[in-house]
Amino acid sequence: MERLYPQLILDALKNVRYPASGKNIVDAGMVEDDIRIDGNKVSFSLVFDKPTDPFIKSLVKASEAAIATYVSPEVDIKGNIAVKTRQEAPQPAVRPLAQVKNIVGISSGKGGVGKSTVASNLAVALAREGYKVGLLDADIFGPSMPKMFGVEDAELYMHHVDGRELIIPHERYGVKLLSIGFLVDKNAPVLWRGSMASNALRQLICDADWGELDYFLIDMPPGTSDIHLTLVQTLPLTGVVIVSTPQQVALADARKGIAMFTGEKVNVPILGLVENMAWFTPAQHPGERYYIFGKEGGVELAKELGVKFLAQIPLVADVCGDGDAGTPIALGDTVMAHEFAHLAHEVVDAVNERNNTLPPTRKVNVTKK
């Protein structure tokens, strides 16, 4: 049986429809955001408007059948689905990013490997391909996206949506963007305890009007921390892209990052690995390559761990300069812009491959008893 993770369960439950509305129970908000996975044991709650709903028993059985059919018959689910009514809940459950198709984290084992540069240019490259893209700067203690997008002085506003007051993400280069950098003094450090940082991050995710998106990218903090746990507990991540340089020190930390995401506590798929700063090519000698940080270390690590290798991104001075100027290099028509366009295609393919791990959609018939 393949490794279990929350999005796999949600994908299976989308095949179960509530007879009264015809909607699947996930989009109808009937699956509470409390999916728990312990080995092959899965448990969660179904929420109904009233305790006398006539479809309670049939939907519980249909949910069990959907998980056995679309995930694995080895999943221990029978008797593990709790039933709640909305009167019991303190407030109606709101699924974060309910209109987002794919949530992709961009992570690195250590700082200084160009993770934020990759994240910003990947977002722009996806937007240029016609996708609806959102980008969250989740690096609470070192937000860099406002500068990379040239919006350091942007002000955030709020508006009412369905009775809720939501933050309006700033939009630049076709990318919806939010960062803690919009809310703090850019010249002062963010001196927050872990719980404060996690709460601020949840607000940027859950209390913002992200709307419909094809891809929601998260520029995660470097290393492994409680911020990462907050993200995987708050959101059903489609997968994570790992960024590293070919340097052995960076690769050792990348290995730890991959181990964290694939471990039992986090359990998020790795979409692939990007080797950044793979080589240096002087502008005056475009045919030459200097392997400053080592050669193909990322390629070898991907092979060793059985992770998909997505791309090698060269070290070019213009990447840094354009990022500092607030104009990501992926906006242009240069060799580097094409490199990031290639990375975007690889990420799209990796996401599609991950989404297609489930069998073809087949409805679970639910009938009233």
Domains, the chain, with CATH or none: 6-85 (3.30.300.130), 100-355 (3.40.50.300)
Instruction: Please identify which residue in the block is written with the tokens 């050669």.
Output: 295
User: Residue 363: what pLDDT?
Assistant: 35
Distance CA 344, CA 124 (A): 9
User: Residue 101: what pLDDT?
Assistant: 95
User: Residue 22: what pLDDT?
Assistant: 85
User: Residue 192: what pLDDT?
Assistant: 64
Distance CA 360, CA 349 (A): 17
Instruction: Tell me the pLDDT tens digit for each residue of 19-45.
Output: 878 899 999 999 988 888 888 899 999
User: Residue 87: what pLDDT?
Assistant: 58
User: Residue 263: what pLDDT?
Assistant: 83
Q: Which is nearest to 347 in space by CA: 177, 10, 105?
A: 105
Instruction: Record the tokens describing residue 112, joined without a space.
Output: 């200084």
User: Residue 191: what pLDDT?
Assistant: 62
Mean model confidence pLDDT for the chain: 85
User: Residue 357: what pLDDT?
Assistant: 66
Write out residues in the chain with pLDDT < 50, as ranges: 88-92, 358-369
User: Residue 359: what pLDDT?
Assistant: 44
User: Residue 324: what pLDDT?
Assistant: 79
User: Residue 194: what pLDDT?
Assistant: 61
Number of other CB atoms surrounding residue 352 within 10 Å: 10
Whether the CA torsion 283, 285, 286, 290 is positive or negative: it is: negative
> In the 8-state DSSP scheme, what is residue 62?
H
Name all contacts of 45-49 with Cβ < 8 Å and 24+ positions apart: 45/81, 45/82, 45/83, 45/84, 46/81, 46/82, 46/83, 46/84, 47/84, 47/85, 47/86, 47/89, 47/93, 48/83, 48/84, 48/85, 48/86, 49/85, 49/86
